[in-house]
Amino acid sequence: MIEFELEGRAFSVQRLKLEAACAGLECLAKALGPMMAAAEGPSIQGLLAGAGHVPALLKIFAPVAKVRRGPDGSFERVPDAPWVALSAFQDDVFAGRLDLAIAFLWKAAENEYGYFLGANGGALAALMPKP
């Protein structure tokens, strides 16, 4: 499980079940593809090209995520508020803030896939062709 904060909003994300993790990786690859293909590296244009996959990624990660919600319905700077299911309130949490939704997904995906993406490959290292 990972807990993190984005602009005062506290999130907690559990690990995905295997089937959801596979679907998420495929979706992530499609979303990040345009960015990775850009010669100059990740760019806002690449990010915008992949934005269509945000709903699909949210469908995968939101069910295993929670967010702190204050008694007045606020999500910002409520450190002792109880955790509620993100999927029930995601429209309220991310309303008008697609950047926050993408940042949330980035952190959730990094926690889920970071052990082999951008790292030494994990268990796949032995199977990868040597450079």
Partner 1 sequence: MSLAIYDIAAHDIIVGAIPVKDALVSAEVAAEAEAFSDEVGADGHVVRYATHDPRATCTIVLKGTSKENVKLSALLGLDQGTTNGAGVVTFLCRDNNGTTIISTDKAWIRRRPTKTMAAAPGDVSWEIRLVLDSPLNWVVGGA
Q: Is 71 or 118 the residue whose CB approaches partner 1 more closely?
A: 71
**Burial class of residue 12, CB neighbours in 10 A (0-12, 13-18, 19+):** middle
Least distance to partner 1, CB of residue 88, Å: 4
Least distance to partner 1, CB of residue 123, Å: 35
Residue closer to partner 1, measured from CB, 46 or 66: 66
| Interior/surface letters 46-65, b for 16+ CB within 10 angstroms, e for the rest | bbebbeebbeebbebbbebb
For partner 1, the closer of residues 41 and 71 by Cβ is 71
Q: How far is the CB of 100 from partner 1 (least distance, A)?
A: 19
For partner 1, the binding residues (CB under 8 A) are: 69-74, 82-85, 87-89, 91
Q: How far is CA 20 from CA 14, 16, 26, 89, 119, in A?
A: 12, 6, 10, 20, 21
Least Cα distance to 31 among 113, 94, 95 occurs for: 113
Q: How far is the CB of 74 from partner 1 (least distance, A)?
A: 8
